[in-house]
Chain A
Amino acid sequence: MIKVALAGNPNSGKTTLFNDLTGSRQYVGNWPGVTVQKKEGTLRRKKDVIITDLPGIYSLSPYTPEEVVTRNYLLKEQPSVILDIIDSTNIERNLYLTTQLIETGIPAVGVLNMMDLLEKRGDTIDIKKLSQLLKCEIVETSALKSKGSFEAADKAIELAKKQKTTIPQKIFADSLEAELLKIQQIIGDMVGQHQLRWYSIKLFERDKRILGELALSDNQKKVIEGIIKNYEKKAGDDSESIIINERYEFIGKVVKECVVKKNVFESTSDKIDKVLTDRWLALPIFALIIFVVYYVSVSSLGTIVTGWTNDVLFGKYIMGNLSVWFDSIGATAWINDLVVNGIIGGVGAVLGFVPQMFILFLLLSILEDCGYMSRIAFIMDKIFRKFGLSGKSFIPMLISSGCGVPGIMASKTIENEKDRRMTIITTTFIPCGAKLPVIALIGGAMFPGVVWMAPAVYFIGIAAVVVSGIMLKKTRLFAGDPSPFVLELPAYHVPSPRNLFMHVWEREKAFIIKAGTVIFVASGLIWFLSGFGFADSGFGMVGAESSLLADIGNIIAPIFAPLGFGNWKAAVATVSGLLAKENIVATFGVLFGLGSDVAEDNSGLLQELQSMFSFGGAAMAFLVFNMLCAPCFAAIGAIKREMASAKWTAFAIGYQTILAYAAALVVYQLSGWLGGHLSFGIGTVAAITVLVIMLYMLFRSNKYKV
């Protein structure tokens, strides 16, 4: 069994090479840190060779999770050989990692990738000399064109069979090497011969993880610290910086001897970038690109395909025919109803998004793979960082105004974990398409003629994002070192269709499986609760007003009393909104005896609502709560999938619901009190207290700020 570890910088074409070698379903993106998990596959046609795709990293420092994962894998699991992917068009920074990988003592093959691009530029690299200077085998490839991939793998296998370990060469200044030798003598028999260099350098860097790993006596630690201090004094720099400088010094020498660069000229990518991130043109072009993505995937083509899948494919063909088929075999009415309306209706509502998401993900993948997504972060960073979000949060928020499900999933492109979590939590505050009928309903009933109703709700959504960002940023959960915004802006290139489709399929598959299972159970449950209950004749199928859901509504209604809608109908409508927000309208239709296909501007429905809410503030509170509280099950499924943690999913849903409750409380109580509908009482006090707490959380100083 031969274990090959694929390592390299982000954007070096590592994932493309991995796909090429294993033929597995992976995808390539432009985001630094896109391969956060370890991915494995066997080499095509050679089952006994396992290839591990390590995260894309720039260094083996102890500071980022990706780097730590890679270090631990290399040192603890001892792969047979490292395939180090080097972007030959960006050789200096790529060799920086190469020198560190070689230090682990594992045999390594350097893969000079993107040689076609280098040739196009007219640059040349002396492979033979490079191999001599690095003391490491070098092969050339163009992974995007599938050139040289298997030669690289063969070379690695050959090397792995020949030797188990290598002794890394000395590359630093003699004075520094002498000190490293002293450290090596101290730790002499604690680690393997081939790992001595790695450990001595890490100890010199005062790497805490390594220091904790070795069982050094206090005296030994003191001697090592003395060696470091002494050298730092001589060099006038800290030990970590000394090593980095020495490393780049060595690389400088290597590059000078092996690389011949043609005169610097403006590449096509530079020319494109000049326009796309131009001081004046950047924002209009950004707006245009976003408009096109939004228009195609949400408004025009997207709506058409979703409408067709929901109404024609599921509604007419599948549900219609299935219902007829159930009747023909003499199935009981409730089985027919459960399967057709409960399960297929619910699951279908979610699967209806699949074609639309295909279009959206395809467009997003193109933006990502061609390199524009990094520029979006570059353009938007200044605004979003104020709310604890990333420039990349813009895309999820925008898409969420169409539908929260793809919006949440689009957060995948945010590589920083805290930024990503914050985006997932806040993105569904932006009103999605399904919430529009609810806004129209409440607006029509309680605020007729008020044209700014919909804009006001959007404003509340945006305010909820901003307020949450600022409040959460100051809590322990999101505290800690702010991750530095040090972002590579990779050269633009045409994405490969194969990588695009792998990318899109990966996301679609995840959505169908994970979100689908949650919906499946939830739709069945809601169907059961709304259709069954205790009647005079015992337990069975009943109308909505005597269903179990109505019973539940009666129980939970008091919870909403402080918000001004403590009646069971409003409570049931809110619960049914979990299935899909537009259900709120249909549920009111059923509960008021107007039928489930009632329109949001039905005059009877509007009248019923007018008598249900005591004054405008109560209706507004109902609206605010339903806009901000836990999103629909499909979106909750997406949150669960993207958080990949039950705890964080619970936190997100809990936070959203609490914020919704607090906001609705403030709206109802204060508008009621100020408008003379409610007398000053415990509710007013509660609302003022909530408001004060929120203001405090907004304006207190951030004690975690570094």
Chain B
Amino acid sequence: MDTLRNVKCGCRARIHGLNGQGALKRRLMDMGLTKGTEVYVRKLAPLGDPMEISVRGYELSIRKSDADMIEVE
């Protein structure tokens, strides 16, 4: 299973689930990154990290290391 980290810019992916636990997982899910949600990887920051994604109609920036927790299909 691939993670959100490896989704290319300009591509869409559907969230399959989140690894990890506690505050970080909760924060990501609170922001709307839940199972079945479609996300669109808009771009990477100029230095390659963090990434900007579109989810539920708004723009969100997360670090690649955190994106690694999010399984996509």
Contact = CB atoms under 8 A, between A and B. Distances in A.
22 contacts: A63-B27, A90-B56, A91-B57, A93-B32, A241-B34, A244-B29, A248-B32, A248-B37, A279-B43, A283-B46, A378-B61, A379-B45, A385-B63, A481-B22, A484-B28, A484-B62, A485-B61, A486-B28, A486-B66, A487-B62, A490-B59, A491-B59
Given A277-B45, A484-B23, A90 B58 contact: yes
Contact of A245 (B34, B46, B58, B63): B34
B56 A381 contact: no
A59 B50 contact: no
A378 B52 contact: yes
B63 A61 contact: no
User: Which A-B residue pairs are the 10 nearest by beta carbons?
Assistant: A59-B30, A489-B59, A63-B23, A92-B56, A382-B47, A282-B46, A244-B29, A487-B61, A484-B24, A90-B58
A683 to B, nearest CB: 43
Given A238-B21, A485-B62, A486-B62, A382 B57 contact: no
Contacts of B59: 273, 488-491
Contacts of B43: 277, 279
A240 interface: yes
Interface string B14-54: 00011001111111111110110100000111111110100
Nearest to B33: A486
Interface string A72-104: 000000000000000001111100100000000
Contacts of A238: 21
Nearest to B18: A241
Interface of B: 17-18, 21-32, 34-35, 37, 43-50, 52, 56-63, 66
A568 B11 CA distance: 68
Contacts of B50: 378, 381-382, 485, 487
Interface of A: 58-59, 61, 63-64, 89-93, 96, 237-238, 240-241, 244-245, 248, 273, 277-280, 282-283, 374, 377-379, 381-383, 385, 481, 484-491
Contacts of B18: 241
B46 A244 contact: no
A240 B28 CA distance: 12
B46 A279 contact: yes
A241 B22 CA distance: 10
Contact of A481 (B23, B48, B62): B23
Given A385-B63, A490-B59, 16 more contacts: A58-B31, A59-B30, A61-B27, A63-B27, A96-B30, A240-B29, A241-B35, A244-B34, A277-B46, A378-B52, A381-B49, A382-B48, A484-B66, A487-B50, A488-B59, A489-B59
A93 to B, nearest CB: 5
Nearest to B24: A484
B30 A379 contact: no
Contacts of A277: 43, 45-46, 52
A212 B71 CA distance: 34
B56 A484 contact: no
B54 to A, nearest CB: 9
Contacts of A92: 32, 56-57
B44 to A, nearest CB: 7
Given A486-B27, A486-B28, A382 B49 contact: yes
B60 A485 contact: no
Given A58-B30, A238-B21, A488 B58 contact: yes
A385 B61 CA distance: 15
A489 B26 contact: no
Contact of A93 (B17, B24, B26, B31): B31
A486 B26 CA distance: 11
A489 B61 contact: yes
A91 B56 CA distance: 9
Most buried by A among B22, B26, B30: B30
A63 B26 contact: yes
A488 B31 CA distance: 9
Nearest to A60: B30
A137 B71 CA distance: 38
A91 to B, nearest CB: 8
A403 B56 CA distance: 42
